A = this chain, B = another copy of it.
């Protein structure tokens, strides 16, 4: 193919050229000073890897499973809003197809520009639904039902977005959804004011409505309620504090994603990587712990997986590079992103002397305290 990017950093550079400024800024930006966006990358550079030599690495197995969801590598596609900005035709459908072709789980955002049905039609056997909790619990219930009916494998409840972070670039750009794209899941909001929103041509009305509908009084009580209406595994996404991890487990979640929402919510939040050891320690193996933020290289996956993989459970979520791949090369672009990452993981495992994920352990990691 004509896709020339060689890694998941370069793809951003190429995407910057094909996306509108408004779309690129929306995808890449963080809140306030973007210090957490930067930290999400630099935190990885603080860790070194101590490789082991002369182990038989003629067969390196990157395959992974958690919550009964299988993957060709310990990576899932993170939930992200509005893939349609990158590929107005393909949208989440193209991304999901690429994920399926790569045998990588795909997380479908509440704020998607595709519908449950469209995702189902791709036939991907490993789709997860990401849930933003809104005040209208009837709609929440309908989303959950849809997810179950359409064969989704888990629910990922985002717990760090009761308010939207202060993203100045979007404010400066007066971000709106381009004509022709619709936030399909939000159409379930069919009350009076919603009908009005749906009528608005550009879909931005729905977005504003949605922002207003987000339930900022949400507390952990929501988890038992959700458990009472579904059998799907419930994964809490977006906590950083070990105390919140303890609460999440007590309230009955089946898994946790340690995350700062890609630096888009609280500026100066620590990286998921930094908090991971404390969270894993608090969770004590009771549920799997995943992590995201700033994953761009195979070595990042090794570093991020270190602790949790030792528990035989974790994966990382991959965010922006997927959108950039979609922008640069549509479905094929996403496939290349996932393929490059898999190749890097495989090679990094070989070079560190790990034939399978179980071999990846904390002994490989030189923490910042060393030198």
Contacts and interface: CB of A to CB of B under 8 A. Distances in A.
Given A171-B6, A371-B368, A216 B297 contact: no
A226 B366 CA distance: 32
Contact of A239 (B53, B265, B303): B53
A6 B168 contact: yes
A141 interface: no
Given A47-B268, A48-B270, A50-B269, A165 B217 contact: no
Interface string A162-182: 110110100110000000000
A53 B266 contact: no
A113 to B, nearest CB: 26
Tallying the copies of this chain within the complex gives 4
Interface in A266-297: 266-270, 274-275, 297
Contacts of A46: 371
Given A32-B299, A297-B33, A220 B168 contact: no
A35 B45 contact: yes
A171 B238 CA distance: 38
Contact of A241 (B50, B222, B268, B368): B50
Contacts of A239: 53
Nearest to A302: B268
Contact of A52 (B244, B267, B344): B244
Given A54-B219, A265-B351, 11 more contacts: A6-B172, A49-B269, A51-B160, A52-B244, A53-B244, A56-B216, A57-B162, A57-B217, A163-B347, A165-B351, A267-B299
Given A46-B371, A266-B352, A54 B168 contact: no
A39 B43 CA distance: 16
B238 A53 contact: yes
A211 to B, nearest CB: 13
Interface residues of A, number: 67
Contacts of A352: 266
A287 B127 CA distance: 55
Contacts of A159: 53-54
A240 B348 CA distance: 15
Q: What does DSSP make chain A's interface, helix, strand, loop or mixed?
A: loop
Contact of A58 (B172, B217, B368): B217
16 contacts: A6-B171, A7-B168, A32-B344, A45-B268, A48-B269, A48-B270, A50-B270, A51-B241, A52-B244, A53-B241, A54-B222, A56-B219, A163-B347, A163-B351, A166-B347, A268-B303
A56 B215 CA distance: 9
A108 B126 CA distance: 52
A17 interface: no
Contacts of A56: 216-219
A220 B54 CA distance: 6
